[in-house]
Structure 1
Amino acid sequence: MTLWIRFRRDGAEGFGTLEDGRVQPHEGDLFAAPRPAGAAFPLAEATLLAPVRPGVFIGLWNNFHEAAAKQGLARPETPLFFLKSPRSVIGPDAPIPMPPGHAGRVIYEGELGLVIGRRCRDASEEEAAAAIFGLTCVNDVTALDTLNADPSFAQWARAKGCDGFGPVGPAIATGLDWRGLRVTVALNGRVRQDYPAADMILPPARIVSLVSREMTLEPGDLIACGTSLGALPMRPGTEVAVTIEGIGTLRNVFAPG
């Protein structure tokens, strides 16, 4: 398994691998044979950024058996998905803001994220599996009251696509089997979500395959696999920590105002 990160150090951005608290910087293209470049350095000398800058950021709804059963929802045969703005993406430790003009409940949703590593169009499940570069943590932040504020039109893009509503990180893990992972979310240290990735209705390769029938996926695109039970509103000042063993912990503070 390898952990890939993006960072800012001495005023410049870069990417590399992380091992035992040290960063090995790389050059070239993360998704096309990157090369080590320069000496390794302690992670403490850098600021972590979101490990990917997606051109397309897709999120799934109703993709876990337990949550679907609890809410009385039918299991979907195809992905029920929405698009989050790529500009919603922030990295570890960046504050989650509340946009001016929004009011009401803002919820967290801890999720497993799939990072696409090669161009993918109308792919078989085998091709789709090969197109998944690695896995990351996602917090799919949602302005819940905005979503259904107008009864004639559900505002998915507006409620989920605000600046800062897409924390991602701290790393992309390659060579990690999603089937044995658990997604946990803690609010100020208290665990509120804890569910197995294996409870997915549509698994990663099938998600990517089905989405690719309608939308070409490119290297760096990001798909959040959906969430399960336990997504709740955040209070101002709340630290939200999304943890997936093997990837790490994505921490952000909800800091409106």
Structure 2
Amino acid sequence: MRLVRVEHGGAPRWGQVEGDTIHLTRGMGGEPTGETVPLEETKLLAPAEPSKIVCVGRNYLDHIRELGNLLPDNALPTEPGIFLKGPNTLAEPGGTVPYPGWSQNFHFEGELALVIGQRARTLKPDGALSAVLGYTCGLDLTARDLQKTDLQWFRAKAADRFCPLGPWIETDLDPTDLRVRTRVNGETRQDGRTSHMIFDVVQILTYVTRFVTLEPGDVVLTGTPEGVGPLERGDTVEVEVEGVGTLVTHIGGEGRDVSGSAPVHTGG
């Protein structure tokens, strides 16, 4: 099932996608109201209403290598590296993210994202996936220069609109071996599989919920494959997750936000 969050009647609404039609629902994953709207005529919003966005850094070995962050003797991390983004970072599919004028090295990082469906605390491995409502595409935008100079990653990772998400939530998906690709202006820059993650989805969820309670609507970004790199003003970024579809984000000039209706990509 595909769940979407849309702008309808001047307010955010949730719905289920069936073919070219959205059946509006009572909240995220709720019962249909009987109202329908055409998918192609609807502005899609980021498909989550999080209290927090939990992110895993350096979860693919080749990405660790490309950033020069290998541990001594090429050892793998023994625990996931976690950081947070706030709800302010969300951006809608098909929208425009202004290039930050205070960064000289603005990077893309395409990822598989989880949307939490029920309150989760101290999850056990055999029940961890039951807390996940579904999966979507995430773009972890990063001011790489500030990530290297700042004490914390607040400016580098958590500025406004630094987390485009979408186009929808796919609820019927096995996250263990999905292809994750990122294209910039049509050229493939990242091409990895979730089976190559150092910490898989279950391990991430059991680790995070030891310390933090995840609430319905919260988002978990699972890390990015190798191939990250800089963006320029005017670039178009596409993050495609197998079985979900494609998230499109446009990079605008500094201080500009010309978000429009989201193009619909139905690939799986």
TM-score, normalised to structure 1's length?
A: 0.92
1:239-250 equivalence runs, <5 A: 239-250=236-247
**AA in 1 matched with 2:221:** A
Q: Distance in 2 between the 1:148 and 1:20 partners? A: 45
Task: Give, in angstroms, the shift of residue 99 of structure 1.
Answer: 4.1
Task: Give, in angstroms, the shift of residue 165 of structure 1.
Answer: 0.5
Task: Give, in angstroms, the shift of residue 69 of structure 1.
Answer: 5.1
In structure 1, the partner of 2:54 is: 58
Task: Give, in angstroms, the shift of residue 39 of structure 1.
Answer: 3.6
Q: Distance in 1 between the 2:21 and 2:128 partners? A: 32
Q: Distance in 2 between the 1:207 and 1:198 partners? A: 13
Task: Give, in angstroms, the shift of residue 21 of structure 1.
Answer: 2.1
Structure 2 counterpart of 1:214, from 203, 211, 216: 211
1:7-18 equivalence runs, <5 A: 7-18=6-17
Q: Distance in 2 between the 1:48 and 1:86 partners? A: 17
Q: Distance in 1 between the 2:58 and 2:252 partners? A: 28
In structure 1, the partner of 2:28 is: 30
In structure 2, the partner of 1:79 is: 80
User: What SS class does the counterpart of residue 162 from structure 1 fall into?
Assistant: coil
In structure 2, the partner of 1:225 is: 222
Task: Give, in angstroms, the shift of residue 11 of structure 1.
Answer: 2.1
Identity of aligned residues (%): 37
Q: Distance in 1 between the 2:78 and 2:19 partners? A: 42
Task: Give, in angstroms, the shift of residue 67 of structure 1.
Answer: 2.8
Q: Deviations over 1:59-115 (max 9, x none)?
A: 111111333455434322221010112100011011112345x12110000000011
Q: Deviations over 1:191-218 (max 9, x none)?
A: 1111011111111111011110011111
**AA in 1 matched with 2:36:** A
Which 4+ residue blocks in structure 1 deviate beyond 4 angstroms?
Answer: none
For the aligned residues, what is the CA RMSD? 1.5
In structure 2, the partner of 1:126 is: 126
Q: Distance in 2 between the 1:211 and 1:108 partners? A: 24
Matched residues, number = 249
Judge conservation of contact 1:115–1:220 (CA < 8 Å) in 2. Answer: yes
Q: Distance in 2 between the 1:85 and 1:99 partners? A: 17
In structure 1, the partner of 2:263 is: none
Q: Distance in 1 between the 2:157 and 2:64 partners? A: 20
User: What SS class does the counterpart of residue 30 from structure 1 fall into?
Assistant: coil
For structure 1, the 5+ residue unaligned runs are: none
Q: Deviations over 1:145-184 (max 9, x none)?
A: 111224xx2x312210010100000011101011231111
TM-score, normalised to structure 2's length?
A: 0.88
Q: Distance in 2 between the 1:13 and 1:88 partners? A: 17
Note if 1:158 corresponds to 2:155. Answer: yes
Q: Distance in 2 between the 1:40 and 1:66 partners? A: 45
